[in-house]
Amino acid sequence: MLKYDAHHYDDYLNLKISSLLWFCLLYGIRHIVIFSVSLAIPDYVSSVDWLNLQSNYFYVFTDMPVVFVLLATGYRLPETTSFMRWIWASGKSLLITSYILGVCIFLLLNYPAIYNDYANSLSLAATILVPDIVIVMMIIKSELMKDVFSEFPPSPIKK
């Protein structure tokens, strides 16, 4: 008897990467996209408060663990290297670290703008931070997410 519905498994009964995990991974690299847009179209980014608060290059470093997990997702094959296996086994921790580090850097960099009495940035900051906190809680609580990161196709090389 399978632990999850059949659509959660691939042909070899390995757990598929769920659409929720794909969302977490793609949402986790949004700072790279925002920073790239800020380099290409700086006037637009500076005029949109939501983008302007997230356009600092420090956020790119918080997205790097997510990029590594995305790479390991592409190399989730039986004949992959031990480094990719280690990244995948640590993927849940890397995602949580990335999101929490992003929240901390956001609060440190934007503290004056958020807590300014004359600006309406507190609600904007909450709009930016709430999805990150919800995603962290979902990664921590989800049994499927835990099982996906703990499973990897077995290596064909016998030790």
pLDDT tens per residue, range 59-76: 999 999 999 999 999 888
Q: Bridge-partner residues for 15, per DSSP?
A: 9
How many Å separate Cα 135 from the centre of its chain?
Answer: 8
In this prediction the pTM is: 0.87
Q: Is residue 1 part of a domain?
A: no
- 155 occurs within a structural domain: no
* Inside any domain, residue 27: yes
Question: Measuring CA to CA, which residue among 7, 28, 24 is closest to residue 16?
Answer: 7
In a domain, 31, yes or no: yes
Whether the CB-CB separation of 18 and 144 falls below 8 Å is answered with yes
- Whether 132 is covered by a domain: the verdict is yes
Does residue 4 lie in a domain region?
Answer: no
Q: Is 15 helix (H, G, I), strand (E, B) or coil?
A: strand
Q: Is residue 93 part of a domain?
A: yes
Question: What is the separation, in whole angstroms, between the first and last Cα of the chain?
Answer: 30
Mean per-residue pLDDT over the chain, rounded: 88
Identify whether 2 is part of a domain. Answer: no
Instruction: Tell me the pLDDT tens digit for each residue of 98-131.
Output: 999 999 999 999 888 777 766 677 788 888 999 9
Whether the per-residue pLDDT at 159 is higher than 60: the answer is no
Stronger pLDDT, 103 or 1, i.e. the higher one: 103
User: In whole angstroms, what is the distance from residue 138 CA to residue 57 CA?
Assistant: 27
pLDDT at residue 58, rounded to an integer? 92
Structural domain harbouring 62:
9-150
* Domain count across the chain: 1
Give the tens place of pLDDT for each residue, 28-50.
999 999 999 999 999 998 888 88
User: What CA–CA distances, in Å, run from 11 to 5, 8, 49, 108?
Assistant: 13, 10, 46, 46
CA atoms of 35 and 71, how far apart (whole Å): 20
9, β-bridge pairs: 15
Percentage of the chain with pLDDT > 90? Answer: 50
